[in-house]
Every structure is written in C-alpha cells, then in structure tokens.
Amino acid sequence: MGSPQTVADELESWVREADIDGFNIGHVTTPGTFEEVVDLLVPELRRRGIYPDPVAEDEKLTAREKIYGKGQRGLRDDHTGSRYKYDVYTEEPPFVADEAHAAESLGSG
C-alpha cells in the first residue's frame, strides 16, 4: 500500500533479496485495484527496468519470453529440467528378458 514508488521499492527489494521472479496480485477493491496496478505501478516498474515493455502486435513471443524477457525461449543450460530435453536426454533401452528367464517366469505362474 502506498504510492507507486513505495510499492515498487518494496517489490524491487523482494526481487533483489529473495531472487523471486513474479508476484500474484490480489484485488482489494473492485473495480480499481487492477487498474491502479496497470496504470500506476507497471509504468514505475518499467521505468526501473524490472517489468518488460509491451511487445509489438506482430511480434511473437513464447510464454517463457513473456515472463522472462525476449531471448529466453527455452530453459537455461544450468536448469535441472534441461537434462530432459529431447536432444540431451538418452532413454535406456527397453528391458528384454533372456529366453531362460522368460521360460522360468512362465513356468512358475
């Protein structure tokens, strides 16, 4: 609660101190709260360089780029999930029982 600069100061400190990458904004009054965020807070965050500028209508961005900024199309190489990309992930061959083991398994059932 406060001026756009006061709220931006607080959000910016959370980003800097806790390395968070987003906020869930809830409404207090309807209508009003979201309009105030868009009209007052977002321009202040953009001025500080911590909220992305709007993209041109003809420019296509991935969902990740919309959150993290242009150029962040995929996972960074140091992200845990990058080990599971199709061009990196190596699937183990399927299990194939040898014939003696397969016959033993069938005979014991």
Which residues of the chain fall below pLDDT 70? Answer: 88-89, 100-109
pLDDT tens-digit profile of 57-86?
888 888 888 777 778 888 888 888 887 777
- pLDDT score at 5: 95
- pLDDT score at 89: 67
Domain of residue 57, residue span: 4-84
Q: Is residue 58 part of a domain?
A: yes
Q: Is residue 80 part of a domain?
A: yes
- pLDDT score at 80: 85
- pLDDT score at 106: 67
Q: Is residue 42 part of a domain?
A: yes
Contacts 24+ apart (CB under 8 A), 6-9: 7/41, 7/44, 8/41, 8/44, 8/45, 8/48
CA dihedral 12, 15, 17, 20 (to 10 degrees): 160
- pLDDT score at 90: 72
Q: Is residue 105 part of a domain?
A: no
DSSP state of 54: P
- pLDDT score at 105: 64
Number of domains composing the chain: 1
| pTM over cut 0.85 | no
Q: Which residue has the tokens 């100061």?
A: 9
Q: Is residue 21 part of a domain?
A: yes
- pLDDT score at 8: 93
Q: How far apart are CA 12 and CA 20, in angstroms?
A: 10
